[in-house]
Structure 1
Amino acid sequence: MASVETPPVPEPEPVVETPVPEPEPEEAPPTEVEKAVEEPPPEVKTPAAPLDYLALAEVVLRFLLFASALVAVVVIVTSKQTKNSRDAKFNYSPALIYFVAALSVAGLYSFITTLLSFYALLKPGCCPQLLSHFVIVDVILLGIVAAATGSAGSIAYTGLKGNSHLGWGKVCDVYDKFCTYVGASVAVSLFASVVLALLVLLSLHSLSKKVPK
């Protein structure tokens, strides 16, 4: 008999096991320390610089000095009066000429220092050396304005009361408008002298605070 060939039995294919992904470990919630490290620090707002009331008072006083000096000069310059074809003017008296010159210098100085003081108020710590020199000029200007006020006041008093010992009559009986203007200008100048004295005291107080104890 012929032998019957048995067909070859196919080998079974190998089973490939698919790897099962391992579950990722759950992350632990961040601690308070980690949160503090991760979170950016809050913005720290710089507090605004407190208002320097001494600097504000200086600005106000210097503006008052400028206004009073300007008013005093304008009043006495416009004090002209004519009676019986004769004029009464401030430039006929050397004392009144000196008065106008002194108050004009005070007005110009106070205008410049008012601007500088206002700038220093807006920007504290600006140009301290320049501001410290103000007290020196203030003292000098106080002497000049006080002397001018005294000389003009003596002329105004002589015109108002006269001087019987020297034979000087009462000019204000004739030139009443002129004497009124001069008297008003001297009064405003006296106010300017007081403002200057307050400025000197304020500057000295500010300097004394900066002296180490």
Structure 2
Amino acid sequence: MDSKSTSYETAINMSETESTKQKSSSGAPIIATTKTISHNQKGGWRRGLSIFDFILRLCALATTLAAATAMGTTEETLPLFTQFFQFQASYDDLPAFSYFVVANAIASAYVVLSLPFSIVCIVRPHLVGVKLLLLILDTVMVAFTTAAAAAAAAIVYLAENGNSTTQWVAICQQFGDFCQRVSGAVVASFIAAFIFIILVVFSAVTLRRA
């Protein structure tokens, strides 16, 4: 009786061990496949954001370059002038407008230099260091372009409306073309600042889910 019971228990243990191995071996590929699918889905999601990031940078390049070019080429001379007096308005007559041109030119150069890094993020969406660098520099560009646009907007407001307290005369009634061009440049710079804000938000979201 003892020998029979011992052999019976051994058979049960062997069958349980074999069934356990079969379950573990059959379950392993399923787990690996699930991880691979999840990894591919995350990679595709990050690559899509990187492509959108590249498109936004092209838009930022267009707006900053347009703002700098429009302001830098703005000049108007009134037809009524004498031998000794000439009524002329130019962007470099005001330091705020000169700073505006420099700031948007720097922002344009930065966007051009950042495009290769954006392409690298498309090819390798799991890189964190490059995205962190772009996030920091984009934040700097937000402050840079916003300050330039705000300073120029204050001058444009004075040119349009004047100031009765300080007796500053509105010059846009005489220099209409000049005011239209500088106003368009300011609008383009604010659009560029808004695009940089979107870039910062997208970079932050990508890094948070990395």
Deviation at 1:123, TM superposition (A): 4.3
Tell me the equivalent position of 1:58.
Answer: 53
* Amino acid aligned to 2:168: W
Change (3 A) 1:175 1:188: same
Give the alignment's TM-score, normalised by structure 1.
Answer: 0.72
Match of 2:111 in 1: 110
- Alignment of 1:131 with 2:126, yes or no, is no
2:148 matched to which residue of 1? Answer: 148
Deviation of 1:50 after TM superposition, in Å, equals 3.6
Q: How far apart, in 1, do the equivalents of 2:131 and 2:208 lie?
A: 14
Q: In structure 1, give the amino acid aligned to 2:62.
A: A
Q: Give CA deviations for 1:72-116 in whole Å, capped at 9, x if unaligned.
A: 011111111011322211111111111111101110001111232
CA displacement, residues 116-167 of structure 1 (integer Å, 9 cap, x when unaligned): 2124313444x64233211111111111111110000000010001111110
Q: What is the one-letter code of the residue matched to 1:102?
A: A
Matching of residues 50-199 of structure 1 within 5 Å: 50=44, 52-83=47-78, 84=81, 85-125=86-126, 128-199=128-199
Counterpart secondary structure, 2:164 = coil
Task: Give the distance between the partners of 1:202 and 1:130, measured in 2 at CA.
Answer: 14
Q: Distance in 2 between matches of 1:118 and 1:203?
A: 14
Q: Write the deviation string for residues 30-53 of structure 1: whole angstroms up to 9, x where unpaired.
A: xxxxxxxxxxxxxxxxx9974721
Distance 1:139 1:50 in 2: 26
The whole-number CA distance in structure 2 between the counterparts of 1:171 and 1:55 is: 46
**Alpha-carbon distance in 1 for matches of 2:163, 2:209:** 50
Instruction: Please list every run of 5 or more consecutive structure 2 residues that lacks an aligned counterpart in the other structure.
Output: 1-36
Give me the identity figure in percent: 25
Pick the structure with greater CA Rg: 1
CA distance in 2, matches of 1:162, 1:149: 19
Deviations 1:150-199 (CA, angstroms, capped at 9, x unpaired): 00000001000111111011110111111000000000001001001101
Which position in structure 2 is the counterpart of 1:30?
none
* Residues 156 and 179 in structure 2, CA contact (< 8 A), matched pair in contact too: yes
1:133 is paired with a residue of what secondary structure?
Answer: helix
Give unmatched runs, 5+ long, in structure 1.
1-46
Alignment-derived partner of residue 10 in structure 1:
none
Q: Give the TM-score normalised by the residue count of structure 2.
A: 0.73
**Contact 2:50-2:125 at 8 Å conserved across structures:** no
Q: Distance in 1 between matches of 2:92 and 2:155?
A: 13
**Partner Cα distance (1:123, 1:209) in 2:** 15
The runs of at least 4 consecutive aligned structure 1 residues that moved more than 6 Å come to: none
